[in-house]
Amino acid sequence: MKTSAQELKPTGHVINGVNVEDVIGLIDDIGRNIKYAKTQFRARNSWVNGGVNQSEVKGFYACCQEDNSRNKAFELRNDEPLFLAGEDKAPNPVEYVLHALAGCLTTTMVYHAAVQGIEIEAVESSYEGDLDLRGIFGLSEEVRKGYNKVRVKMRVKSKASAEELTTLAMFSPVYDIISKSLPVSFILETH
Amino acid sequence: MKTSAQELKPTGHVINGVNVEDVIGLIDDIGRNIKYAKTQFRARNSWVNGGVNQSEVKGFYACCQEDNSRNKAFELRNDEPLFLAGEDKAPNPVEYVLHALAGCLTTTMVYHAAVQGIEIEAVESSYEGDLDLRGIFGLSEEVRKGYNKVRVKMRVKSKASAEELTTLAMFSPVYDIISKSLPVSFILETH
């Protein structure tokens, strides 16, 4: 959508759709007072029936205070696919793990790039998670219950190098959580 | 919704909304042929702008074949809250991690209980994840990027004991992934 020159923010303030001054302002706050780094996210969940349950995501703690800026909760539903005796009306929990990883790698790379003045034009990525059902069903103690391996392929349109962008993506909190638990292969290509 | 006696499945086949025969059938298949245990879930993600990106969750591999039973993809969106320079139109990736954990603990417990003939009347749970933003912003190498700690409180209406239900919930794949990466406290109470 085109906008008039008057509506545009000053050059350099918004890169990759990220308001860089807002992010740098937060980093400065944390540098001045470590308490600004302490954040707590939350969810509440209610079982509906069978493999269906629903989460509400609303309040959180950030910037030294309870953040009540959300007027209503986000509602997220889990279900299971047909072969797992579900009704398949929503993704299942291990699919949500891949979505969380995807979002976190992408956003972390895009934000870090913005702060460094690196423009990104497009990001596409794909995720595969290998699960051995003997784990969840307790059929083998040698098989882990969670993913055995996750593979990530990311394709980024940018003038920055693949190595540079990989370094930025590796700041991702969800990547940290998953890659400290199981092998995650990460391949990033630029074009 | 009431239904006629003819429409009801035989007693004992559906417990906690789970078709127990379907689940036992899958477990039997895996027992006969280990290949039935090999499952792969997937996601694709496209960056939209700033902290917004969107995943598509559709195909997966299960029961020795590509599963194409889903007619259309589930679409899931990430955003970031206002204090993280987002537009807050969707949960953020680390909030999705808590939703995935919630769904997986609940479904795993409900399914295992069903197979064992344990009736569950209600499940409510809450999740807190502590994040130190110095990790994601690279302000300290001693601070991890992902959650430092996650706390789970689960309240279950059932005649089974809290100890028994806890044992069942611990088969959860997402609990396995997260608890092998960081400390997760899990408290389950019955009523």
Query: pLDDT tens, A119-157?
Result: 999 999 999 999 999 999 999 999 999 999 999 999 999
Cα A177 to Cα A188: distance, rounded to the nearest angstrom = 19
Residue-by-residue DSSP string for B15-78: ETTEEHHHHHHHHHHHHH-GGGGEEEEEEEEEEEETTEEEEEE--EEETTEEE---SS-EEEEE
Asked if B119 and B153 sit in the same domain, the reply is yes
Please check whether residue A154 lies inside any domain of the structure: yes
The answer to whether residue A12 scores a pLDDT higher than 90 is: no
Per the model's pLDDT, the better-predicted residue between A4 and A184 turns out to be A184
Confidence at residue A109, expressed as pLDDT on a 0 to 100 scale = 98
- Could A110 and B42 be called an inter-chain contact, meaning their C-beta atoms sit closer than 8 Å? no
- Could B17 and A76 be called an inter-chain contact, meaning their C-beta atoms sit closer than 8 Å? no
Asked if B135 and B172 sit in the same domain, the reply is yes
Asked if B157 and B191 sit in the same domain, the reply is yes
Asked if B53 and B127 sit in the same domain, the reply is no
Asked if B83 and B96 sit in the same domain, the reply is no
Query: pLDDT tens, A103-114?
Result: 999 999 999 999
The answer to whether residue A32 scores a pLDDT higher than 90 is: yes
pLDDT tier at A5 (50, 70, 90 boundaries)? very low
Asked if B149 and B78 sit in the same domain, the reply is no
pTM: 0.94
The answer to whether residue A8 scores a pLDDT higher than 50 is: no
- Could B171 and A106 be called an inter-chain contact, meaning their C-beta atoms sit closer than 8 Å? no
Asked if B122 and B82 sit in the same domain, the reply is no
Going from the C-alpha of A23 to that of each of A13, A54, A108, A112, the distances in angstroms are: 10, 32, 12, 9
Please check whether residue A74 lies inside any domain of the structure: no
Interface mutation vs chain B, best among A69, A79, A97, A176, most B CBs within 10 Å: A97
Asked if B96 and B72 sit in the same domain, the reply is no
In contact, B80 and A74? CB cutoff 8 Å:
no
Asked if B112 and B74 sit in the same domain, the reply is no
Smallest Cα–Cα separation from B41: which of A151, A95, A179? A95
pLDDT tier at A6 (50, 70, 90 boundaries)? very low
Please check whether residue A104 lies inside any domain of the structure: yes
Instruction: Give the residue on A whose Cα is nearest the Cα of B18.
Output: A50
Please check whether residue A39 lies inside any domain of the structure: no
Give the CATH number of the domain where residue B96 resides.
3.30.300.20
The answer to whether residue A3 scores a pLDDT higher than 80 is: no
The answer to whether residue A55 scores a pLDDT higher than 80 is: yes
The conformation of residue B190, written as its DSSP 8-state character, comes to: E
In contact, B113 and B165? CB cutoff 8 Å:
yes
H or E, element range at A63: none
- Sign of the Cα pseudo-torsion (A100, B173, A85, B39, in order): positive
| Distance to chain A for B75, nearest Cα, Å | 9
- Could B126 and A42 be called an inter-chain contact, meaning their C-beta atoms sit closer than 8 Å? yes
Please check whether residue A67 lies inside any domain of the structure: no
Among residues B66, B90, B114, the one where a domain terminates is: B90
Confidence at residue B4, expressed as pLDDT on a 0 to 100 scale = 42
Q: How many domains does chain A have?
A: 1
Asked if B75 and B43 sit in the same domain, the reply is yes
Asked if B61 and B96 sit in the same domain, the reply is no
Please check whether residue B7 lies inside any domain of the structure: no
* Chain A CB contacts of B103 below 8 Å: 45, 53, 55, 78, 92-93, 96
Confidence at residue B6, expressed as pLDDT on a 0 to 100 scale = 42
Smallest Cα–Cα separation from A101: which of B94, B150, B54? B94
Instruction: Give the residue on A whose Cα is nearest the Cα of B103.
Output: A93
In contact, B86 and B77? CB cutoff 8 Å:
no
Among residues B33, B55, B90, the one where a domain terminates is: B90
Instruction: Give the residue on B whose Cα is nearest the Cα of A175.
Output: B146
Asked if B73 and B100 sit in the same domain, the reply is no
Tell me the residue range of the domain where A98 lies: 91-191
Taking chain B (191 residues) in runs of 10, the rounded mean pLDDT of each run is 43 87 96 97 98 98 96 97 97 98 98 97 98 97 97 98 98 98 98 96
Please check whether residue A135 lies inside any domain of the structure: yes
Among residues B90, B108, B140, the one where a domain terminates is: B90
Confidence at residue B63, expressed as pLDDT on a 0 to 100 scale = 97
Going from the C-alpha of B117 to that of each of A83, A151, B12, B110, B111, the distances in angstroms are: 20, 37, 8, 10, 10
Please check whether residue B10 lies inside any domain of the structure: no
pLDDT tier at A9 (50, 70, 90 boundaries)? very low
